[in-house]
Structure 1
Amino acid sequence: MIMLSKRLQTIADRVTYGSRIADIGSDHALLPVYLVQSGKCPAAIAGELNPGPYQAAVKQTAEAGLNALIEVRQGDGLSVLAPGEADTVSIAGMGGSLMSGILQEGWSAGRLAGVRELVLQPNVGEDIVRRWLAEHDYVLQSEAILEEDGRIYEVLHAAVLADAKEARRHNEQLYDASFLSLQLPSAGRREWLYRMGPYLLRSGEPLLKKKWLLELEKLERICRQLELSALPESREKERMLRGEMKQIEEVLACL
């Protein structure tokens, strides 16, 4: 059986046993091959747009002897998936904006019909993905944060509830930021739950703090560069960044 990276294993661990999975942007199809080999998923679809990774996925599936159980399809995003073909959709290794765009297109086309859970690993822009999930009545079940090869990743596991009203009530509670001691209106505090993660913030994950301390260092470097400029726009940009840094520090102090 193939071995997965720590990042892909974290995704695999969140897939519900017995579900049919569609892995979008599957690259070498490592995740679906592992899930079928391990017996966790009875069948899988590996979707890939680019010719090189698509061919690699075809080869990986064939070498594993899983052509009968894993179908490799070439196409853009969720266009490779027909309604009712999958119980779980996984998308990993891309920006949150692109990921939410793929989800929105799939949602609008009805391709997410029958999908009961999403396992998502955005490289950046996690807040965009969390917001999309909440707006479309998906409920976060868990969040994981991990470090591998010097990079920090977040994995989001979301599910569909039978009752949309219940999903909205759950999300309202999940994104209730009253526990954060910030001098901000409720909408401003909620924004930090989207950015840092409602579960991660509540649990005080040390790795979350490390991630945002690194972000503070990056913002400080940008501010120092802006200080060298005499342009009024640079002064305004620096002022905005300093304000954001202050808020990050206040949120981290709540951990």
Structure 2
Amino acid sequence: MNAHMLSTRLAQIASFVPEQARLADIGSDHAYLPVYLASNGKIDYAIAGEIAQGPLQAATSQIKKYGFTHKIIPRLADGLAAIQVEDQIDTIIIAGMGGLLTKRILTEGQSEGFLSNKERLILQPNNHEQLLRHWLATNHYQIYDEKIIEDHGKIYEIIVALPKKEIDYTLKELYFGPVLMEKKSAVFQKKWQKILQTKQKVLMNLKNAQYPPEDKIGKIKKEIIWIKEVLE
């Protein structure tokens, strides 16, 4: 399998996987990522975790098609329960899910002992990116790289984190992404220009309400100031 068979989103996620990784791809979506990585000799071993039989069968077929049944193991499980101690997983991908679901998977995986807090995390939530960054900071993960991309008209953020004892992020860094707000790519600016316009409209509507909610107005005003500062 070559890179042309991956979407822009999946190709970018794949680029963050280290050489000789032992990978757990949670919600593997036909096992495209682990098969691509195995085809290119980048990973030593992978688990393709799925929560339902249909997706599991699709992943199994893909793995067999490319001849990687010795290297990629499809496994039916909820979230990080797909990981077993003997797998010696060092890299976890959770991509293409909502931020709330991703947070639940991480939280449950940690409490149930499937997440050892030693793994590299490669996360691509479809929303609630700030929520995930807060979880990472609270659980002693450093966000050492991030990427924002546009794929088929949709904007995605990819967050790469490694364990670190001392973490010190500002609320503003967790809001925008500490790496993303430094790079200020064209896609980043496009995303936040659109959000700024939306928040300005919401603020106007709240101010014109019969009983303006002062707390909410104050929060949105603060966010608007942040966005304008970052876009300068």
TM-score when normalising by structure 2: 0.88
Alpha-carbon deviation of 1:217?
Answer: 2.4
For 1:199, the equivalent position in structure 2 comes to 179
Aligned 1:157-168 pairs, distance under 5 A: 157-161=160-164, 164=165, 168=166
Unaligned stretches of 5+ residues in structure 1: 176-189
Pairwise mapping of residues 38-187 of structure 1 onto structure 2 (< 5 A)?
Answer: 38-83=40-85, 85=87, 86-113=89-116, 115-161=118-164, 164=165, 168=166, 171-172=167-168, 175=169
Alpha-carbon offset, residue 51 of structure 1: 3.0
| CA-to-aligned-CA distance 1:62-112 (integer Å, 9 cap, x gap) | 212212211111111001111352111111011222112111111111212
1:180-235 CA-to-partner distances (Å, cap 9, x unmatched) read: xxxxxxxxxx21210111111122323212111111223344456657754x2568
Q: Contact 2:143 / 2:178 at 8 angstroms: preserved in 1?
A: no
Aligned to 2:226: 247
Q: 1:24 aligns with which of 16, 20, 26?
A: 26
User: What does the per-residue CA deviation read over 1:158-189, in whole Å, with 9 as the maximum and x for residues that have no partner?
Assistant: 1235xx3xxx0xx32xx2xxxxxxxxxxxxxx
User: Aligned pair count?
Assistant: 229
Give the CA deviation at 1:116.
2.8
The answer to whether the 8 Å contact 2:46/2:73 transfers is yes
Superposed displacement of residue 44, structure 1: 0.7
Q: Taking every aligned residue pair, what percent have the same amino acid on both sides?
A: 40
| Contact 1:119–1:157, Cα closer than 8 Å, also in 2 | yes
Structure 2 vs 1, CA of residues 138 and 234 (structure 1 numbering), >3 Å: closer, same or farther?
closer
Q: Which has the higher strand share?
A: 2
* Cα distance in structure 2, aligned partners of 1:87 and 1:240: 39
- Unaligned 5+ residue runs, structure 2? none
Q: Tell me if the contact between 2:172 and 2:226 (Cα under 8 Å) persists in the aligned partners.
A: no
Distance (whole Å) between structure 2 residues aligned to residue 134 and residue 224 of structure 1: 33
Closer, same or farther: CA 244–113 of 1 in aligned 2, 3 Å: closer
Give the 3 Å change call, closer, same or farther, for CA 57–228 of structure 1 in structure 2: farther
Aligned equivalent of 1:183: none
Q: Secondary structure at the match of 1:198?
A: coil
Counterparts of 1:71 and 1:132, CA distance in 2: 29
> Match for 2:53: what amino acid?
P
Q: Secondary structure in 1 aligned to 2:49?
A: strand
What RMSD in Å do the two structures reach over aligned CA positions? 2.2
